[in-house]
Amino acid sequence: MWLIVGLGNPGAKYEHTRHNIGFLTLDRLVGMTGAHPLSSSSFHGKLFKSGQTLFLKPETFMNRSGVAVQAVKQFFKIDLEQIVVIHDDLDLPFGAVRFKQGGGNGGHNGLKSIDAMVGQDYIRVRMGIGKPVYKSQVIDYVLSDFTPEQMRVLPLWIEHAAKATLELTRHPVDRVASLYSIRKPAWETP
């Protein structure tokens, strides 16, 4: 069984923010696969299932994402190596997509929480959101909406990341990375 987790913050206020790219991509995955909701409040999030794959949107805030991941992992007895986490990444330009297994959290509070609750050896789908000019602007930047120009290409980017994420359940990370990584996005953004 696989667990695919999209990171974000719950609520309409955060729906189209940069920090919620994981949620937006997970929504697309649920639609692509026809996954159906599973009902249980003990998972601390919205959980969907399609075949042997579970899809999770934690309803905790970002810095407590690990609580939801741990609950689902333990209940379904999922190996850490079969967990995929989709998240925003400040260190990559907007529109980039990279993949890795294990590693550090890069200061990302959602990853810090997951690392603390279940360990680090899960697969990451890193979606680049770029970064602000000054480090002091990071919180406002990640919690702000995508620009209108970025919103125009968002569906293409999300579709690409969603397809690549599904491939991670079928092929090794290295193979998916070689086929689906986007280092320098083809589209132009300000």
The catalytic site residues sit at: 19
Relative to beta strand 53-58, strand 2-6 is parallel
Rounded CA separation 132/138 (Å): 6
Q: Residue 109 burial (CB < 10 Å; 0-12/13-18/19+)?
A: middle
Half-sphere exposure of 130 (CA within 13 A, CB side): 16
Rounded CA separation 89/118 (Å): 20
Rounded CA separation 130/185 (Å): 12
Rounded CA separation 162/125 (Å): 10
| DSSP-derived 3-state class of residue 84 | strand
